[in-house]
Amino acid sequence: MDLNMNNTCFLAVDAGGTYLKGALFLEEGTLLKNSFISVPVDSMGEAAGIKASYQELAVKQKGQALKEGLEIKGIGICIPGPFDYAEGICKMKHKYASIYGIPMRPWFEEVLGHITVTFLHDSEAFLKGAIKLSGLNYNRVCGVIIGTGLGFAVSQNQVVLRNLTGGPKISIYQMHYKNGIAEDYVSKRGIIKRYQELGGKQGREVLDIANAAKSGEAAAIQAFQETGTHLAAILYEIIRDNEMECLFLGGAISKSAELFLPQLKEGLRGIPSLKLIKKAEDIDNVPLYGVVS
């Protein structure tokens, strides 16, 4: 996104399944402090409600910008796929199904007037943001996002590689792995399932399991350690064959990266090109930085 106009700002939006997060960035790409706004959205709900949530965020951020004497000149939205990123049309069926095939760009034009609206994959936004916040200058970088699902992106010479639809060139969540796909083992559901198989308490979410691991519970510790081992096995050939130098970890589960990082590092130890495995800075907001980088 071009950040070069005086007295203007840009709105970055991270479109999750339950909340829309937005923040304003100044022309040089600096975050406008205290501009974070979160708006609930029901990605399984009706189209009218989803549209209303997006427009509510845009209107609130417009008001925030006006308080600062600024005008929003562009919006960048990171959103998972399938999605037509060039046209701004949702192609998802697992969530946001009610807006399948509906152009989203006019939603913002209705409340903000004629404005530049760009869309990019959330994995790309994460990796761009992680690189920006790290200040590191590796030429070949990849990022894995571990949360409800399993996202991945690669960057070469400061350019995130895309497929023909604008999504990540290399996708891993549906890779065949053991008795299913990669996402069955490295994700929210994968950790919960394995924890319960190991005799862990029923009804616990991943955060509960992480806290239990930090308190020394054996089943919780093992579930996270195995996650690191699985992730290394899933990523090994990709990182080796593409000569990646740096791997960033993102997504909510990576907030507890210390629970699986030793096993991940051990599993990737034999790759000559890989110099650094690092949890991304400011994991909750890093995609917003990526949207405007």
User: What's residue 145's pLDDT?
Assistant: 97
Q: Which residues lie closer than 8 Å to 237 by C-beta, 6 or more apart?
A: none
User: What's residue 119's pLDDT?
Assistant: 97
Q: Which residues lie closer than 8 Å to 49 by C-beta, 6 or more apart?
A: 41, 42
Could you tell me if 289 and 129 are in contact, meaning their C-beta atoms sit under 8 angstroms apart?
yes
Q: Where are the beta strands (DSSP E) in 4-58?
A: 8-15, 19-26, 37-40
Considering only the top CATH level, what class is 8-114?
Answer: alpha beta
Alpha-helical regions (H) of 68-140: 105-112, 122-134
Distance between terminal CA atoms of the chain? Answer: 7
CATH superfamily to which 132-278 belongs = ATPase, nucleotide binding domain (3.30.420.40)
User: 167: burial class by Cβ within 10 Å (0-12, 13-18, 19+)?
Assistant: buried
**One digit per residue, pLDDT tens: the chain, 293 residues?**
444 457 999 999 999 888 999 999 998 889 998 899 999 999 999 999 999 999 999 999 999 999 999 999 999 999 998 999 999 999 998 889 999 999 999 999 999 999 999 999 999 999 999 999 999 999 999 999 999 899 999 999 989 999 988 899 999 999 999 999 999 999 999 999 999 999 999 999 999 999 999 999 999 999 999 999 999 999 999 999 999 999 999 999 999 999 999 999 999 999 999 999 999 999 999 999 999 98
Continuous segment of H or E residues that includes residue 184? helix 182-185
- Distance (Å, rounded) from C-alpha 129 to C-alpha 291? 7
Secondary structure letter of residue 280 according to DSSP? P
Which residue type is seen at 198?
Answer: L
Alpha-helical regions (H) of 68-152: 105-112, 122-134
User: What's residue 3's pLDDT?
Assistant: 45
User: What's residue 65's pLDDT?
Assistant: 95
- Nearest CA among 279, 220, 225, 290 for reference residue 252: 279
Same fold yes or no, 8-114 and 132-278: yes
Q: What are phi and psi of 134, to 5 degrees?
A: -75, -30
User: What's residue 261's pLDDT?
Assistant: 98
User: What's residue 11's pLDDT?
Assistant: 98
Secondary structure letter of residue 37 according to DSSP? E
- Distance (Å, rounded) from C-alpha 265 to C-alpha 270? 9
Give domain limits for the chain.
8-114, 132-278
User: What's residue 4's pLDDT?
Assistant: 42
